Amino acid sequence: MDGQTTIEEQYDYLLAVLQADQLIEFRELFFNLHIYEQGQFYLSLNEEERQRVYTYLSPKEMADMFDVIEEDEEDVEEYLKEMKPSYVADMLAEMYTDNAVDTLNQLDKTTMAKYLSLMDTESASEIKELLHYEDETAGSIMTTEYVSIVANQTVRSAMYLLKNEATVAETIYYVFVVDRENILVGVISLRDLIVNDDDRMISDIMSERVMSVKVGDDQEDVAKMIRDYDFLAVPVTDYEGHLLGIVTVDDIIDVIDEEAASDYSGLAGVDVEESSENPFKAASKRLPWLITLLFLGMSTATLIGRYEELVSEASILAVFISLITGTAGNAGTQSLAVAVRRLAVQDDKDSGFFRLIISEVLTGLITGAVTGLAIFIVVGIWKQNFPLGFVIGIAMLFAITVANLAGSLIPMLMDKLGFDPAVASGPFITTLSDLTSVLIYFNIASLFMSYFI
C-alpha cells in the first residue's frame, strides 16, 4: 500500500517482463510481491500468459500462491485444466491440506480421482481423509499442518521441534500437547514458550483447560468460539478426543464473511455473490425467485379478485391496498431480520421459543396500534371520512401484527426443523404478508361497508 510505485504499476511492469520472456527478472520481481498480490497478478492474466507462468514457477511456488486464491474463485477448474496433470498433482500435494481439499471439491469426481492417483501416497491419503468431512463442518475447514508435542519434555526441546516445523505448519503460535494415543491434553502458546525458562517442563506450564471443537461441529460454532475467545486457532478432535487438525483464524474470517453474505442474500432473495456483470447470467439467477414469488403473488391477486364486487362498489378501497400491504410487509421484514440475527448470535437456541414469539406479537400490536392511529387520523382528515380511516387503521393494526408473527415464527420454525433460518427470505415474507393483509383488509372493510360509503 505504501511505497514509491503503486501496485498497479508493478503489475503492469511485471506483465511486460513476462511478455518479454525474461525469466530471471520475472522471478525476482514476482517473489518481491506478497503472495496475495502474486495471486491477484496471476488472476489478471490471459491463458497464454498463464501458460508461461507455469513454466516459470515450480509446483511448490504455485502452491503457495494457490493457497491464497479464494476457494470460491469460479475459474479454478479452468486453470487446473491448463496445467499438466502431474504439475497439478504436485501443486496440490504442496498446498495446505484444507486448501487443497477446497480446490479439489470444485472438480468432478473423475478429475479429482485422476489428480489423487498422480500424487505421492502420503499427501493423497491426508487429502482423502479430509474429503470425507461434510461441508460447513469443522472437519471441512480444518488443516492438518499443526504442531503437536508430548508433555514430558522441556521448553528447550519443544522449541527445537518448533523450529523444524515452522516452515510447514500453518501456525506455530499454538503448540498442542497430546498423550501417547494422540489424545489432546493441553495447549501452550508460543508466547508462553518464549517467556518461560528453557528448562521448564511443558507439563508444568501448559494449559490443561484446552478448548476444542468436534470434527462434526458446525463451522458457525467454530467461528463463534474463535470470535468470543479471541483465539488464533482451535484444535479439532474426533469424538474420542484424538487430535485431528486445527482451524485457523484466517479461515474463520472467510466463514464469517460467507455466512454474512448468505444471510444478506436470504433477506433479499438473490445470491449477492453473483459477480457477473453479464445481464443474461444475472437475470437467470434472479428469475427463479421472481417467478416463484410471482405465483405466490397470484394468490393475493386471486383473493382481491374475489372482492372485485366490493371494490367496484367502493373504489376508494383500491387506493389503500398498496399502503396496507406495503406497511405490513415492512413490519414483517423487520421481525424477520431481528429473528434471524437473534438465532445467529444466541448461544442457547432453545430458550424461550414462545416468549420470543409472544414478545414479537406484542411488538406488532404496539407498532400496529401507533401506525393504525396515525393512518386513522390522516385518512379521516384527508378524505373527510373517519369511518373509512377507522377501517384502514384497524386493518393496519391486524395486518402488522400478523406480519410480525409470520416474520418471527417462520425463521424460528425453520431453525427448529434444522434448516438455515436465513433462507426464509424477505421477499417471501412480504409476499406472504400481502396475502394475509389483503384478507384482513377486505374482511374488515366489508364488515363496516355501510358506515364509510
Q: Report 132-171 residues binding its own copies (CB under 8 A).
A: 159, 162-163, 166-167
**Of 426, 439, 444, 445, the one binding its own copies by CB under 8 A:** 426
Site for its own copies in 332-351 (CB under 8 A): 333-334, 336-338, 340-341
Nearest approach, Cβ of residue 141 and its own copies (Å): 14
Which window, 46-54, 116-124, 134-142, 244-252, contacts its own copies (CB under 8 A)?
Answer: 244-252
Residue 20 binds to its own copies (criterion: CB under 8 A): no
Alpha-carbon distance values, 46 to 42, 224, 252 (Å): 9, 40, 32
| Phi-psi group of 211: left, alpha or beta (phi > 0 → left; psi -120 to 50 → alpha; rest → beta) | beta
Site for its own copies in 58-87 (CB under 8 A): 68
Nearest approach, Cβ of residue 160 and its own copies (Å): 10
Alpha-carbon distance values, 280 to 266, 285, 289, 389 (Å): 21, 9, 15, 46
DSSP assignments along 118-170, one per residue:
HS-HHHHHHHHHHHTSPTTBHHHH-BS---EEESSSBHHHHHHHHHHHTTT-S
Q: How many CB atoms sit inside 10 A of residue 412's CB? A: 22
Site for its own copies in 209-228 (CB under 8 A): 209-213, 225-228
Core vs surface per residue 159-193: b (16+ CB within 10 A) or e: eebbeeeeeebbbbebbbbbeeeeebbbbbebebb
Query: What interhelical angle do 7-19 and 47-56 show, nearest 10?
Result: 80
> Helix (H, G, I), strand (E, B), or coil: what is residue 207?
strand
Q: Which is closer to its own copies, CB of 83 or CB of 371? A: 371
Dig out the grid coordinates for 317 from the structure: 378501497
One character per residue 182-201, x = contact with its own copies (rule: CB under 8 A): --------xx--xx------
Beta-sheet pairing, 213-214 with 233-237:
parallel
Quote the CA–CA distance of 430 and 293 in Å, as a whole number. 10
Alpha-carbon distance values, 18 to 14, 57, 200, 398, 428 (Å): 6, 12, 53, 68, 52
Residue 430 binds to its own copies (criterion: CB under 8 A): yes
- Chain length of the chain: 453
Nearest approach, Cβ of residue 301 and its own copies (Å): 5
**Of 15, 43, 205, 249, the one binding its own copies by CB under 8 A:** 249
Site for its own copies in 307-326 (CB under 8 A): 308-309, 311-312, 315-323, 325-326
Count of residues interacting with its own copies (CB under 8 A): 116
Residue 36 binds to its own copies (criterion: CB under 8 A): yes
Nearest approach, Cβ of residue 399 and its own copies (Å): 12
Alpha-carbon distance values, 146 to 35, 166, 177, 196, 245 (Å): 21, 10, 11, 22, 7
Nearest approach, Cβ of residue 440 and its own copies (Å): 13
Quote the CA–CA distance of 16 and 49 in Å, as a whole number. 11
Q: Which is closer to its own copies, CB of 134 or CB of 250? A: 250
Nearest approach, Cβ of residue 96 and its own copies (Å): 11
Single out the residue of 294, 300, 298 nearest to residue 427, CA to CA: 294
Q: Which is closer to its own copies, CB of 75 or CB of 274? A: 274
**Of 32, 51, 58, 443, the one binding its own copies by CB under 8 A:** 32
Q: Which is closer to its own copies, CB of 16 or CB of 319? A: 319
**Of 131, 201, 232, 449, the one binding its own copies by CB under 8 A:** 232
Site for its own copies in 347-386 (CB under 8 A): 355-356, 359-360, 362-363, 365-367, 370-371, 374-375, 378
Quote the CA–CA distance of 373 and 134 in Å, as a whole number. 52
Residue 436 binds to its own copies (criterion: CB under 8 A): no
Instruction: Give residue 292's identity as a one-letter amino acid code.
Output: T
Nearest approach, Cβ of residue 14 and its own copies (Å): 14
Site for its own copies in 254-283 (CB under 8 A): 254, 256-257, 260-261, 263-265, 267-270, 272-274, 277-280, 282-283
Q: Which is closer to its own copies, CB of 60 or CB of 163? A: 163
Residue 286 binds to its own copies (criterion: CB under 8 A): yes
Cα 15 to its chain centre, rounded Å, is 34
